[in-house]
Structure 1
Amino acid sequence: MKLFKRVFLIALVILVVVAYFNYPKLNIISGYASKNMASTVFLTDRSPESVTLNDNDVPLIKLADVEVDASKKQATASVFGLMERKSICRDGLGCVLVNDKYDANTVIPKPHRTTLKNDLPFPYGNKGTKDTTFANIDYQRLDKAVEDAFANPESQKTRTVLVTYKNQIIAEKYIKGFHKDTPVLGWSMTKSILGTLFGILEYQGKIDLDEPAPVPAWQNDDRQDITLNHLLRMQSGLAWDEDYTSISDVTKMLFLDSDMTLAQASNEAVAPPTKVWNYSSGTSNLLSGILRKQFKTHHEYIDFPYVALIDKIGMHSMLIETDMEGNFVASSYGWATTRDWAKFGLLHLNKGIWKGEQLFDQKWIDYITLPTAHSDGDYGAHFWLNAGGKYPDVPKDMYSLNGYQGQRVFIIPSKNLVVVRTGLAEEPEFDINGFLRDVIKSIL
């Protein structure tokens, strides 16, 4: 009996110590679980049970209990009854994790959306796909490459794959519960959407990437020389901790901040611009705030991505969620169907030309695919690269949108390919090099 009491006491002490040191993390855990549940249920029409068993079934996050209120379009999560966090959904703006500063009476403008009205098939319309057969494609080999991407569902966790060649879909596959009209969270693929908006503004002559970033707090210290170019290349020299396993800059921003555009702006410089490369979601949201300053009204800012890019190329399923203050969370929260993510890739494959209209300068592709110093050839300007040969069996001209858990849009100009893959696992569980190698080999 004494031994049992002693063991119990030791276990209790360990539990208390673990809880004490991890208590602040509960805010992040319940915040993630709440936000992910609300957005996935109310933006994709998937069931709470599916989200619990799949999307939220990751270490620590699965400790959270989440309740969904369909009538109010909100989700509330807590961990062992502690650190309750709520996410609410706003029409046209997606869902947002709220805190004590949330005022339900605050009005955030809803974006004006337009729909293409034509009878064209993908990609220039939404009337199905063109029944095209290319003589130089080994379709049997291509189908096997796609099937292999789904072969081990417990480890690979692939959800959707789409392959286009010369603007036409040549392969497409979805797991049960997903289809061509299911929006998928792109996570950091959203950064490339944001980067492209700056390319559009530059083409319109409204910004100069080499001008100092318009951040008032930087104008009288060693951050005054940071330009938009430095920010787009993640080489500002600003301190930033992109660690999702701890209470870090990025987790505090995404799960605690009301205004996510401010997190990076307040950090000090640890090096002069161009001297280091440091991937930072805070930088993307800072750029979102800078984007907002380009417009006279909040509504013009909210409309701009849809008017200038998203709806213009028929990505009607896309929605970029906003924070509590109505800023686009351009680091992480863009949703679109697999076909619409592919359209964005095709816009770049075609060097900014869509149905004869030039949306951004063709030289913009040269800019975003120019390797950034100190990135080992892996990063350009809000796009990832293969210039350093990370994927040895894939052409070095390949560049991509990359998101958490293996969300990817691969653009391979030399092969006329755009390949989309979404899921819940990335390398090494999902072999990107092998998958792309096998797809490429099917093009004879």
Structure 2
Amino acid sequence: MTKTICTILAALSFISCSKDSTEPDSTPTETMYFPPLTGNAWETKSLTDLKWNQNAVQPLLDYLELKHSKSFMILVNGRIVLENYFNNHTATTNWYWASAGKTLTSTLTGIAQQEGLLNINNKVSAYIGTGWTSETIAQENQITCKNLLSMTSGLDDSTDEVEPANLIYKADAGTRWAYHNVYVKLQDVVAKASGQSWENYFNAKLRDKIGMNGTWVQIGVNSVYTSTTRSMARFGLLMLNKGKWENNVILNESFFNEATATSQNINLGYGYLWWLNGKSSYHLPQSQLTFQGSVIPTGPNDMFMALGKNDQKIYVVPSKKMVVIRMGDAADNVNLALSDFDKTLWEKINALYQ
């Protein structure tokens, strides 16, 4: 994945408006639904039952199609409210998650920790050996698994490459936030700690337990996940339910809470490879500037997000019991860094229930 995980984010630094509350008048109180692990069955919920505005649906879908989307889903309490496909994409077509898949790495790291295979406070070299960077041994041994989860390794972020020659000292671990591909070393940590390949451990501990499909594809230095839209939605539903699938604990709530809270005091809008909305400030990839306000000011303040290149999205909104998925090509082909896709998209989603 390139370091530009979400092409629209830079535009948000120019937006001065804020939204104190985007919650609907009432939060759904029915029980959470989980689709069967196999087959195509999935319960739905009508807009009428939710008392949502039917007239707001078509403008939302028109905007999504205009912005090169391939699929879009909204779940409320696990039930499908909207499921739409565009531009010859189908419910059975796999598409890449790009950097939205970083959250899968975060989750697997948490699972490995709860199984006693690793401790995120330990140095990375304890699992994959020394010499994985070009730093001195003393500098390298400062870098913990938590530093990789929180993007505070201190390594030079001017390149996406993660070979030792490219992993060069920039600052002491924990003192600098910089979006960096080096997080992929966590996959090596998990593989070494578990004694399995990354993909086998992922399939056994996460994919198969929540009924996802999909595969990991090697693209350059990156292992990129591809799946159907519903599989992405299943993962969003797991995280909406704080790591539990029905009554089965996949990821313990303690790690979930850490992962979806501010992980360091530099970029308040970042957890463990999750983006966090509603914080007082945030940083962007490839920038050391602090931007005031929320990452997506039109979105719910309690929303946490998996954001990937070309606008791959998982939005999880606990206050609304809602998961929103968007897959597709880049929303804007020109001036990508100034796109306001997320801002406008959430204005149109808000119109459904306001």
> Which category describes the TM-score, using the shorter chain as reference length?
0.7 to 0.9
2:208 aligned partner? 311
Contact 1:209–1:227 (Cα < 8 Å) also in 2 = yes
Inter-partner Cα distance in structure 2 for 1:123 and 1:170: 17
| Cα distance per residue 1:184-240 (max 9 Å; x no partner) | 111111211111100111222221111111241268322211111111000011112
Shift of residue 272, structure 1, vs aligned partner:
1.2
Q: SS of the counterpart of 1:377? A: coil
- State how 1:163-182 maps to structure 2 within 5 Å: 163-182=74-93
Task: Name the CA shift for 1:142/1:376 in 2 (closer, same or farther; >3 Å).
Answer: farther
Shift of residue 380, structure 1, vs aligned partner:
1.1
Q: SS of the counterpart of 1:170? A: strand
Shift of residue 297, structure 1, vs aligned partner:
4.9
Contact 1:276–1:373 (Cα < 8 Å) also in 2 = no
- State how 1:125-164 maps to structure 2 within 5 Å: 125-133=38-46, 135-152=49-66, 156-164=67-75
| Cα distance per residue 1:143-168 (max 9 Å; x no partner) | 2353133352xxx2122111111101
Inter-partner Cα distance in structure 1 for 2:37 and 2:195: 32
Q: SS of the counterpart of 1:209? A: coil
Shift of residue 364, structure 1, vs aligned partner:
2.0
Percent pairwise identity:
23
Task: Name the CA shift for 1:296/1:147 in 2 (closer, same or farther; >3 Å).
Answer: closer
1:235 aligned partner? 152
Inter-partner Cα distance in structure 2 for 1:305 and 1:417: 25
Q: SS of the counterpart of 2:60? A: helix
Q: SS of the counterpart of 1:432? A: helix
- State how 1:74-89 maps to structure 2 within 5 Å: none
Which structure has more relative contact order (CA 8 Å, sep 6+)? It is: 2
2:192 aligned partner? 293
Which amino acid is 1:439 matched to? I
- Normalised by the size of structure 2, how large is the TM-score? 0.76
Q: SS of the counterpart of 1:312? A: helix
Contact 2:93–2:228 (Cα < 8 Å) also in 1 = yes
| Cα distance per residue 1:414-443 (max 9 Å; x no partner) | 111100111212464452122123323423
Shift of residue 136, structure 1, vs aligned partner:
2.8
2:346 aligned partner? 436
Inter-partner Cα distance in structure 1 for 2:239 and 2:317: 10
* Residue range with higher mean Cα deviation, 197-206 or 372-381: 372-381
Shift of residue 286, structure 1, vs aligned partner:
1.5
Task: Name the CA shift for 1:240/1:380 in 2 (closer, same or farther; >3 Å).
Answer: same
Inter-partner Cα distance in structure 2 for 1:173 and 1:125: 21
Contact 1:146–1:161 (Cα < 8 Å) also in 2 = no
Task: Name the CA shift for 1:421/1:343 in 2 (closer, same or farther; >3 Å).
Answer: same
1:198 aligned partner? 109
Q: SS of the counterpart of 1:400? A: strand
Residue 309 of structure 2 corresponds to residue 404 of structure 1? yes
Structure number with greater Rg is 1
1:366 aligned partner? 257
Contact 1:146–1:173 (Cα < 8 Å) also in 2 = no
Task: Name the CA shift for 1:131/1:231 in 2 (closer, same or farther; >3 Å).
Answer: closer
Unmatched runs of 5 consecutive residues or more in structure 2: 3-32, 280-293
Contact 1:161–1:419 (Cα < 8 Å) also in 2 = yes
Contact 1:226–1:273 (Cα < 8 Å) also in 2 = yes
| Cα distance per residue 1:329-387 (max 9 Å; x no partner) | 34xx1101111101100000001111310011112222112224365432111111113
1:36 aligned partner? none
Count of residues in Structure 1 that have an aligned counterpart in Structure 2: 297
2:171 aligned partner? 271
- Normalised by the size of structure 1, how large is the TM-score? 0.62
Which amino acid is 2:343 matched to? N
Inter-partner Cα distance in structure 2 for 1:293 and 1:216: 14
Contact 2:278–2:297 (Cα < 8 Å) also in 1 = no
Shift of residue 132, structure 1, vs aligned partner:
3.1
- State how 1:5-24 maps to structure 2 within 5 Å: none
| Cα distance per residue 1:69-124 (max 9 Å; x no partner) | xxxxxxxxxxxxxxxxxxxxxxxxxxxxxxxxxxxxxxxxxxxxxxxxxxx98365
Shift of residue 265, structure 1, vs aligned partner:
7.7
Task: Name the CA shift for 1:397/1:173 in 2 (closer, same or farther; >3 Å).
Answer: same
Please point out which of 219, 222, 226 is paired with 2:139: 222
Shift of residue 140, structure 1, vs aligned partner:
0.6
Contact 1:121–1:127 (Cα < 8 Å) also in 2 = no
1:343 aligned partner? 234
RMSD across aligned C-alpha pairs, in angstroms? 2.6
Inter-partner Cα distance in structure 2 for 1:211 and 1:263: 21
Task: Name the CA shift for 1:131/1:289 in 2 (closer, same or farther; >3 Å).
Answer: closer
